[in-house]
Chain A
Amino acid sequence: GESVGLHLPTLSVQEGDNSIINCAYSNSASDYFIWYKQESGKGPQFIIDIRSNMDKRQGQRVTVLLNKTVKHLSLQIAATQPGDSAVYFCAENMGFNKFYFGSGTKLNVKP
């Protein structure tokens, strides 16, 4: 199948700064995307999702942006905190709720 990939394998930010994690997807027919956070030793935790009929969706301190023209997805975290340190995955719905996951970005928050 077509793949989902991430631009940056690791990202280090200062506590309090904003973080931006990027993801490229290749299937232009994908209509639903999810961002997950995975802390060490835990399963993936749902953060935020977006459907292809939207280009922006906001949650608590997080915003997902979808650019269908260039097939790009990003997760913005405002005022990054030490508790945000984790691996972040974007996931693309390939149909029937079967998701294909990107390779992940590790976010390190420096105090």
Chain B
Amino acid sequence: SAVISQKPSRDICQRGTSLTIQCQVDSQVTMMFWYRQQPGQSLTLIATANQGSEATYESGFVIDKFPISRPNLTFSTLTVSNMSPEDSSIYLCSVDRWQGASGNTIYFGEGSWLTVV
């Protein structure tokens, strides 16, 4: 598996502000992803964080709202900009890791639990 650390683990944010979430992995990984999990719901992929180039966003997510950085193969940040209460969610970093016979699989951090007031 992979050791994935996210900061902050929890935060309460004022509407209109922005917050940057950090994701640190214990070893180099090819692919890093950011997911959102709204209260009581499943996970939705926000974007793929690409090292050395812009992130690739999924439908419904835009760079202005969720800017992402990936300066190296072990670290990424996700910023939630101009927050509103609808942005209250768990934001999860995930990485791919070689599993041997199964090929690559995806592991998750513990998430950053954001509440916007």
Residue ranges of A at the interface with B (Cβ–Cβ < 8 Å): 32, 34, 36, 42-46, 49, 51, 89, 91, 96-104
Contact = CB atoms under 8 A, between A and B. Distances in A.
Interface of B: 1, 31, 33, 41-45, 48, 58, 90, 92, 96, 99, 102-111
B97 to A, nearest CB: 9
A49 B108 contact: no
Nearest to A48: B102
11 contacts: A34-B106, A42-B110, A42-B111, A43-B90, A44-B43, A45-B108, A97-B106, A98-B48, A99-B106, A101-B42, A103-B42
Contacts of A45: 108
A98 B45 contact: yes
Contacts, number: 52
Interface of A is mostly: strand
Contact of A100 (B45, B105, B109): B45
Contacts of B111: 42-43
B42 A51 contact: no
